[in-house]
Amino acid sequence: MLLFADLPDWVTDHPILSLLVGLIVLVIGAEVLVRGAVWIALTIGMSRMAVGLTLVSIGTSLPELLVTLTAANSGGDGANLGLANVLGSNVANVLLIVGVAATIRGIRTKTRWLELGYMLLLSSLACVPFLAGARLDRWLSGLMLAVLILFLYQLLARERVAGKLLREDTRPKTSATGWLVNIAMLGAGFLMLMYGADWLVGGASQVASDMGMSKTMIGATVVAIGTSMPELATSAVAALRGQSEICIGNVIGSNIFNIGAVLGCAGILQPFAFDADPLMLVTIGVATTAALALAVTLRKGGGVPRSVGILFLLAYGGFMTYAVIANSGA
């Protein structure tokens, strides 16, 4: 992974261009990676919900992982940008992405307490650093990563017990060429995500400094929306195609991986302190409340109706408005 000191001159000389190029590369890289991952998953017989909860969400969470690790390694205010990116992405996943998908087409799907319970558990663990001196330590990051591993183990065990494997006639046709192409897509997608994350964070940090924006503001809004674009694109397409399992599985899985893998890996590799400013506190509060609202809606309503999707979008608009007001008053 690149560090800020190794970024090319054009990133700092043209930060807006760097931010836009990084965002485009992230979105394309995630799309390439996800296409390859889904093909491989369906070929070996995973269910669509499991694909959404695992491979698709891992692929679309890689931008958050790489951006957060890069920001944390930069030191100083970079930690604020990285943490705000994770929390802001979880807010965007529920309020923006589910809101858009449900507004396009009401979501009807059966969701189990396994994935919802782990999403709520990890959302609660994300609150702990705010109660422990505004610092993410290795022990807590290790716990987050352990919870993620336990979730994956139980999810795969459920898949085996339930026998939810695709029938042979519904799997993609396999060939040596198909395997080579899709494995190459995985590698190319990861490289694009790695460089795109560096360029986006470098450009966003420079823009924040030039415009007097706080790192929390830029991380919770601009970077969070940018790194959530893969989830938005994936979920919107899934909604249009009526693939509710992929859509919801992607969002829930991304929220789980953002905390379990992103904060877990970041804190283990580089424990960091952050500023628990008002915007950061509001962001963690909104992220936790949004996760709870999504879980209740899915369990009680059997999906997310269009009316709730519109409410989610309005709530996200309110959050963004507060972020702008909080930054202008800082």
Q: Kindly report the three-state secondary structure assignment for every residue of 121-184.
A: HHHHHCCHHHHCCCEECHHHHHHHHHHHHHHHHHHHHHHHHHCCCCCHHHCCCCCHHHHHHHHH
- 3-state SS, one letter per residue, for 256-319: HHHHHHHHHHHHHHCCEECCCCHHHHHHHHHHHHHHHHHHHHHHHHCEECHHHHHHHHHHHHHH
Q: Residue 29: inside a domain, yes or no?
A: yes
Q: Which residues pair with 304 in a beta bridge?
A: 107
pTM (2 d.p.): 0.80
Domain that holds residue 220: 16-328
Q: Residue 3: inside a domain, yes or no?
A: no
Q: Residue 4: inside a domain, yes or no?
A: no
Q: What was the pLDDT predicted at 3?
A: 38
Per residue in 289-315, pLDDT (tens digit) is: 999 999 999 998 889 999 999 999 999
Q: What is the CATH number of the domain that holds 140?
A: 1.20.1420.30
Q: What was the pLDDT predicted at 127?
A: 97
d(CA 48, CA 46): 7
Q: What was the pLDDT predicted at 270?
A: 84
Q: What was the pLDDT predicted at 76?
A: 58
Q: Identify the segments of the chain with pLDDT beneath 50.
A: 1-5
d(CA 326, CA 140): 29
d(CA 129, CA 108): 35
Q: How many domains is the chain partitioned into structurally?
A: 1
Q: What angle do CA 278, 281, 116 make, to 5 degrees?
A: 160
Q: Which residues pair with 136 in a beta bridge?
A: 272
Q: What was the pLDDT predicted at 163?
A: 53
Structure letter (DSSP) for residue 14: S
Q: What was the pLDDT predicted at 77?
A: 62
DSSP H or E stretch at residue 51: helix 48-51
